Structure 1
Amino acid sequence: MTKLATPTAAGRRQRLGADFSKLWSAAAVSAIGDGVTIAAGPLLAAQLTDDPRLIGGVSVAFTAPFVLFGIPAGLLVDRVDLRKALVRVDLARAVLLVVLTAGIIGGWGGLPLLYVCMFLLGVGEVFCRNAAQVLVPFVAPESGLSTANARIMAAQEAGTGFVGPLFGALLFGVAVALPFGVDAATFLCSALLLARMRRTRPPAERRDTTGVLAQMLAGAKWLWRHHLLRNLALLSCTINLAGSAMLAVLVVHSSQVLELSPFGYGVMLSCQAVGAVLASRIAPLLTNRLGREGALVATATLIASSEAVLALVPSPYAAGIALALFACGTVTWNVVVVVLRQTLVPRHLLGRANSVYRLIAWGGLPVGAAAGGIVAAEAGTPAVFGAGAIVMTVIAVILVRGARRRWITTVVEARQDDGPAHTADDRTPAGPDSTDTGPNARTTPER
């Protein structure tokens, strides 16, 4: 019998192996570079224009590939040697950032070049995030999946939310092009670390002889029939929509409402790392204590609270606390749902099903970023955060209803009783509602 990773096992301290350490180190160093660009990209856009819609366009350009290339990336993940592919994509992203750096220095690096580079960086991110999650079960023991995912997510959040933004804001003050050159160097370091890994995903357990389109649709059909993961994807989409709207206009809120300097903006962003590191410590324990359902309710409540604080309290200190709560909630959510995907999806379909999940869940990112810029231009940034708080409160209520029905535990226990965990059929419960077409399926609900 193949058993799902349990919260209890996840909560124990484990040795995860040398290959996982290399994967973790690569994720950490590239996350620092991502944080540098996350801070410097909007600052560059804000220097070129004061239109919130054009500034929000940076986030739209970066997140649009999650919708456009999610499913093809999943098929590619299921077909290639993941370690070699990750190295090549990191090298390509390094070259791309060198071009952007040269454009800024040469005076031809305006908004169009920034948009194009952010879009192409997003294309690489679609593949790499999917590939890294598929790779984790092959370099870490199954009983340590929660711990392994929590550590990687904490490293990513600490890099993108603390070290990177602070470093990026400081570098931007020294020279506008410098942050992007540093990000290029971090991708080179990440490629070197990944190249030293020995293990990678073995050849697929079975090979499809059908056409490319049929292979891409196989993952979509499997995920859509799996009511639990489908509804989690829909909920994640709505969470990402609200979160993306918030983050897209945060630089505008920082300068116009909180009156912070670029460095102050970087410091404010860095507060996310506090929540992320806290979540990496408590997420497995919280899941063990409250169960998966209770942990997701807690995360939705934290995110709703963070949006409400941003909307109602125009203080840099309150904003820092809100961002810490936001990061804590999102990391905990991701730990729970990523482990569920890694253990419930058949391994030969993991890349494709994972990409379809991301296509649904991350479909809210560009929509949220665009909507945030429009709402901020018309009604101000507090209105964006207020709307996000309302959306997250509704999601928390939906999750409470699901928790009363034990909608996740029922699926997990059924898989353990039925034998191999990597199968699914139409008997899977529908999620918070007991029917397939309940509120979650009609809503356009991992960061």
Structure 2
Amino acid sequence: MSASTTDSTSSQRPRLGRDFPWLWCSAAVSSLGDGATIAAAPLLASRLTDDPRLIGAASVAFTAPFILFGIPAGLLVDRVDIRAMMVRVDFARAALLTVLTLGILGGWGGLPLLYVCMFLLGTGEVLCRNAAQVLVPFITPKAGLATANARIMAAQEAGAGFVGPLVGALLFGVATALPFGVDAATFLCSAVLLGRIRRTRPVEPDRDRDRAGMLSQMLAGASWLYAHHLLRSLALVSCLINLAGSAMLAVLVVHSGKVLHLGPFGYGALLACQAVGAVLASRFAPALTQRLGREGALVATAALIATSETLLAAASSAYAAGAALAIFACGTVTWNVVVVVLRQTLVPQHLLGRANSVYRLVAWGGLPVGAAAGGILAAEVGTRAVFGAGAVVMAVVAAALLAGARRRWITRAEQNTRQNAQPGTERGTEQGAEQTRRPTDEV
């Protein structure tokens, strides 16, 4: 009876590893500062200009590195000590935000400095997000991957989507430079926490490194991802989701002021509504995925995002807009929980950084495009048109995902992976060797 109870408890609460709390705390504290900057940066831009295109350019600057440096970042992640790299990047981001804080206090912190800082912060984000997703399978047992990723996303959304924006909006009202200084302090704390992680991915010579140049090594991840129909398709769908979401968020500060008649704190509260749906989704997404299946969960997320964009386009109430943002975050977090675990389990470990970066290059490529398109469209025909266009895009995505779900494309892809990994098959020798390189469940 006791053994049965223990086994039941263990299955309900999968072990996440001794080092996972440090990674989780790092994500939580840095996301708190990120939330302050997320609220403060467009407020600073809107104080310096009333042109929606220039306000949206701050989002473009932050997301442009996802396209420019996505593949090189993946190669770097595959070649270095991940933990040490993340610590150095956090220290660098703390120094960068300190410069921006001093620039605002000194009166020379205008739009050019804001754009440069957002661009460099985005570069650091590309490196650290990729590195963290590669690190998780090495510090967390395979059975706990869905829970570990969901908890990290919950911490990120609670900080960046709820507490951080409220704090950032309040601090911006007290002093324009204050939220950026707080973000600098959180990156310092994050670096210290990451330094406490004991287990990391071993730095081993890449088997392709001695035979191929750097360009060939970078393209190895792209070739693998292109040949994998499921992950290639999900990357393209993610690009469309990010395009619609980035366009929405890029003009939200304009919409909240001109349509919803909210001040800086109201805008922060509006952003905070995203965390309500995100935290709930991150807690229940693993169970929801088990109930609906991964195909069904992805269709549901696209439908939720389409619903949120439609509601935001039609709503004139701040409460309805807040509900729409909560629904939007619920959909995006559920989507991320499903696709991140798929990448961590389907991609060979020695290619995970590069394949992950190529996936992000495609998926996050929609972010700067969406931000720029949202600003232009809002300037020409208004913010509601931006949300309406996003609803149409997501309705098409939901229909395409439904067609894929009927063919059970995720289930078939996993079955093919297991078959190819079995010794004795034509491709099983090489791909089976890839599987033996995966981290064990022992931590």
What is the TM-score when the length of structure 1 is the normalising length? 0.91
Give the structure 2 partner of residue 407 of structure 1.
409
The 1-side partners of 2:374 and 2:323 are apart by 21
Give the structure 2 partner of residue 333 of structure 1.
335
The 1-side partners of 2:324 and 2:33 are apart by 23
Give the structure 2 partner of residue 438 of structure 1.
none
* Contact 1:10/1:146, CA 8 A, preserved across alignment: no
Matches within 5 A, 1:204-215: 204=204, 206-208=206-208, 209=210, 210-215=212-217
* Contact 1:293/1:403, CA 8 A, preserved across alignment: yes
Report Cα offsets for 1:210-262 as digits up to 9, x if no partner: 11001000000010011110010001001100000000000000000000010
The 1-side partners of 2:206 and 2:387 are apart by 47
CA shift at 1:372, angstroms?
A: 0.1
The 2-side partners of 1:105 and 1:322 are apart by 36
SS of 1:15's equivalent in the other structure is coil
Give the structure 1 partner of residue 433 of structure 2.
none
Give the structure 2 partner of residue 391 of structure 1.
393
Of residues 198-207 and 364-373 in structure 1, the stretch that sits farther from structure 2 once superposed is: 198-207
Task: Report the structure number with the largest CA radius of gyration.
Answer: 2
Give the structure 1 partner of residue 149 of structure 2.
149
CA shift at 1:205, angstroms?
A: 7.2
Give the structure 1 partner of residue 21 of structure 2.
21
Matches within 5 A, 1:44-193: 44-193=44-193
Give the structure 2 partner of residue 266 of structure 1.
268
Matches within 5 A, 1:295-310: 295-310=297-312
Matches within 5 A, 1:275-424: 275-419=277-421
Report Cα offsets for 1:191-219 as digits up to 9, x if no partner: 00000110111134743211100100000
Give the structure 1 partner of residue 12 of structure 2.
12
Q: 1:346 to 1:420 in 2, by over 3 A?
A: farther
Structure 1 vs Structure 2 CA RMSD: 1.8
Give the structure 2 partner of residue 227 of structure 1.
229
Q: 1:10 to 1:320 in 2, by over 3 A?
A: farther
Give the structure 1 partner of residue 34 of structure 2.
34
Report Cα offsets for 1:149-172 as digits up to 9, x if no partner: 000011101111000000000000
Counterpart AA for 1:23: L
Counterpart AA for 1:202: P
Aligned pair partner of 2:238 in 215, 236, 239: 236
The 1-side partners of 2:10 and 2:206 are apart by 29
The 2-side partners of 1:57 and 1:398 are apart by 31
Counterpart AA for 1:396: A
SS of 2:109's equivalent in the other structure is coil
* Contact 1:36/1:183, CA 8 A, preserved across alignment: yes
The 1-side partners of 2:131 and 2:206 are apart by 19
SS of 1:157's equivalent in the other structure is helix
CA shift at 1:299, angstroms?
A: 0.3
CA shift at 1:12, angstroms?
A: 3.1
SS of 1:78's equivalent in the other structure is helix
Give the structure 1 partner of residue 441 of structure 2.
none
The 2-side partners of 1:312 and 1:343 are apart by 40
* Contact 1:276/1:324, CA 8 A, preserved across alignment: yes
SS of 2:35's equivalent in the other structure is helix
The 2-side partners of 1:69 and 1:266 are apart by 30
Number of equivalences: 417
CA shift at 1:412, angstroms?
A: 1.2
CA shift at 1:16, angstroms?
A: 1.1
What is the TM-score when the length of structure 2 is the normalising length? 0.92
Of residues 70-79 and 199-208 in structure 1, the stretch that sits farther from structure 2 once superposed is: 199-208
SS of 2:19's equivalent in the other structure is helix
* Contact 1:10/1:143, CA 8 A, preserved across alignment: no
SS of 2:413's equivalent in the other structure is helix
CA shift at 1:28, angstroms?
A: 0.6
* Contact 2:79/2:206, CA 8 A, preserved across alignment: no
The 2-side partners of 1:155 and 1:14 are apart by 18
The 1-side partners of 2:296 and 2:100 are apart by 44
The 1-side partners of 2:49 and 2:321 are apart by 24
Q: 1:103 to 1:424 in 2, by over 3 A?
A: farther
Report Cα offsets for 1:33-79 as digits up to 9, x if no partner: 11000000000000000000000000000000000000000000000
Report Cα offsets for 1:117-146 as digits up to 9, x if no partner: 000000000000000000000010001100
The 2-side partners of 1:95 and 1:274 are apart by 32
* Contact 1:31/1:159, CA 8 A, preserved across alignment: yes
Moved over 4 A (4+): 8-11
SS of 1:18's equivalent in the other structure is coil
Give structure 2 stretches of 5+ with no counterpart: 1-7, 428-443
Q: Give the share of equivalent positions with the same residue, in percent.
A: 76
Q: 1:390 to 1:188 in 2, by over 3 A?
A: same
Report Cα offsets for 1:411-432 as digits up to 9, x if no partner: 11222344369x998xxxxxxx
* Contact 2:309/2:390, CA 8 A, preserved across alignment: yes
The 2-side partners of 1:61 and 1:69 are apart by 13
The 2-side partners of 1:274 and 1:286 are apart by 17
Q: 1:10 to 1:326 in 2, by over 3 A?
A: farther
Q: 1:154 to 1:424 in 2, by over 3 A?
A: farther
CA shift at 1:282, angstroms?
A: 1.3
Give the structure 2 partner of residue 436 of structure 1.
none
The 2-side partners of 1:341 and 1:178 are apart by 38
Give the structure 1 partner of residue 252 of structure 2.
250
* Contact 2:313/2:387, CA 8 A, preserved across alignment: yes
